[in-house]
A = this chain, B = another copy of it.
Amino acid sequence: MKKGGGNITTLKERILNSAVELFYKKGFEATGVREIAKKANVSTSMINYHFGSKKGILKEIMEIFFSQMNEFLDNEHIEEKDLEHRLRAAIKSLVFALRKNEKMFKIIMIQIPEDDKELVNLRVENLKKIIFKKVFMNEFKGFDSDIRYDIIGPALSGMIFSHFLLKDLIPQITGATFDDNFYEIYPDYIADIYLYGALKKLI
C-alpha cells in the first residue's frame, strides 16, 4: 500500500490517477472500467463503490481541478492598476495552473458527455466562475462598449487553451518540444503577442 517517497496512496486515489491517465490518452468513452481497475490494481466494483459510477470519476476530476484552479488563480488578484501588468500576471498564473493540471483540463474540456446535464452545467459554471471571470472577463471591464468582447477575450483564452488541448498534436506537426525552458518564456511571449501584436516580433 506504500508508494515510494513515503506517500500513502489510497485505493481511491489510485483509481483516480489511473482514470486520469487513461481518459487523457484514450478518452472517457473508449476507456473501460476493467482497464482502469487493472491499472489501479483493484476490482472493478471499487469504482462504483468509491465514485458511484464511471461518470462519478469525471465529477470528482472536475471538483479537484476547479478547486486547484481556484487556489492558483486566486493568488493573482493583486490590485494592479495597469491592465498590461494585470494581464501578464493572469496569463502567467493561468499557464502555470493549467500546466500543473493539463490532463484534467483536457479531459474536462473535451471528454464530458454532452448528454449529462449535471456534468455539463458543472463545467460551465466553474469555468465561468473560476477561470473566465478571473482571467478573461474581469480584465476587460471598463472599456469601450464598441469593443467586441466576444472576440477579444476568447482570442486570448483560445491561444492558451489550445496549447494544452492540442499539446500532443502540435509537436507532430511543428517539431516543437515543451520543456521547462519553453515554459519559462511562453507566458510573456504570448502576452507580448496578445498585447502588442505579432508584427512587433517579426519586424
CB A170 to nearest CB in B, in angstroms, measures 6
> Which one, B148, B159, B161, contacts A189 given CB within 8 A?
B148
Give the docked Cα–Cα distance between A42 and B95 (Å): 48
B176 touches A150 (CB 8 A): yes
> Which one, B25, B113, B150, contacts A114 given CB within 8 A?
B25
B150 touches A157 (CB 8 A): no
List B contacts of A29 (CB < 8 A): 27, 29-30
The closest CB in chain B to the CB of A162 belongs to B158
- In the complex, whether A64 has a CB less than 8 A from a CB of chain B is no
Q: Mark A148-188, 1 if CB is under 8 A from B, else 0.
A: 11111111111111110110111011111000001001100
List B contacts of A25 (CB < 8 A): 114
So how many copies of this chain end up in the complex? 2
Interface SS, A side: helix
Give the docked Cα–Cα distance between A166 and B200 (Å): 29
- In the complex, whether A40 has a CB less than 8 A from a CB of chain B is no
The closest CB in chain B to the CB of A146 belongs to B201
- In the complex, whether A49 has a CB less than 8 A from a CB of chain B is no
**Which residues in window 5-39 of A have CB below 8 A to B?**
25-27, 29-30
The closest CB in chain B to the CB of A29 belongs to B29
Q: Given A162-B154, A202-B147, answer yes or no on A173-B124 (Cβ-Cβ < 8 Å).
A: yes
CB A92 to nearest CB in B, in angstroms, measures 15
B158 touches A161 (CB 8 A): yes
**Which residues in window 125-147 of A have CB below 8 A to B?**
127-128, 132, 137, 140, 143-144, 147
The closest CB in chain B to the CB of A175 belongs to B150
A166 touches B174 (CB 8 A): no
A27 touches B27 (CB 8 A): yes
- In the complex, whether A115 has a CB less than 8 A from a CB of chain B is yes
CB A99 to nearest CB in B, in angstroms, measures 14
